């Protein structure tokens, strides 16, 4: 089985990243920070010559899920659940986004999931241009649960609420 470090080195060759020109530039050793860039190319621009919206979303898609998977451990199930995207200004040139979850927040999530079994967590990422201006905001919802979560027990407990 591949290590997390090896998987991250290979991710730039994953078709959704390769096909949109998205590149993972840096991953912190603790897997809590990911830095991603996307250059404007002929194959990722739209009809008016700016970054295609689908590519902008793809740029923000898996990273918070990856951070939580790497930091929570194998006894937790982590999945992307939803997202919304807001275009602030036209995306031109090279765009960047940094994804980060603090050690305290990860600990808080772990403690909460250990108590209640499952929950959704919302993270905001901002894609910026070369001048540091926000061009796109993406709100990501990530679902986390214990792998041994008892759905029947949860449903029974919550019927009266």
CA dihedral 63, 64, 69, 73 (to 10 degrees): 140
Percent residues over pLDDT 90 in the chain: 78
Specify the pLDDT at position 24: 95
> What value does the mean pLDDT of the chain take?
91
| SS3 category, 107 | helix
What's residue 155's pLDDT? 59
In this predicted structure, the answer to whether residue 144 has a pLDDT above a threshold of 90 is yes
How many residues appear in the chain? 161
43: confidence class by pLDDT, cuts 50, 70, 90: very high
pLDDT at 4: 72
Where does 11-159 show beta strands of DSSP type E?
Answer: 22-27, 33-38, 76-87, 95-100, 118-128, 134-146
């Amino acid at each position: 089985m591949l290590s997390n470090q090896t998987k991250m080195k290979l991710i730039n060759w994953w078709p959704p990243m390769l096909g949109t020109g998205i590149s993972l530039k840096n991953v912190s050793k603790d897997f809590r920070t990911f830095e991603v860039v996307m250059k404007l190319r002929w194959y990722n621009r739209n009809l008016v010559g700016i970054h295609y919206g689908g590519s902008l979303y793809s740029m923000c898609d898996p990273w918070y899920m990856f951070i939580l998977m790497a930091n929570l451990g194998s006894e937790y199930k982590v999945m992307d659940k939803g997202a919304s995207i807001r275009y602030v200004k036209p995306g031109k040139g090279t765009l960047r986004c940094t994804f980060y979850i603090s050690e305290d927040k990860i600990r808080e999530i772990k403690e909460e999931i250990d108590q209640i079994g499952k929950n959704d967590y919302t993270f905001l990422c901002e894609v910026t241009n070369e001048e540091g201006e926000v061009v796109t905001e993406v709100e990501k919802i990530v679902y986390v649960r214990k792998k041994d979560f008892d759905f029947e027990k949860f449903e029974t407990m919550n019927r009266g609420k």
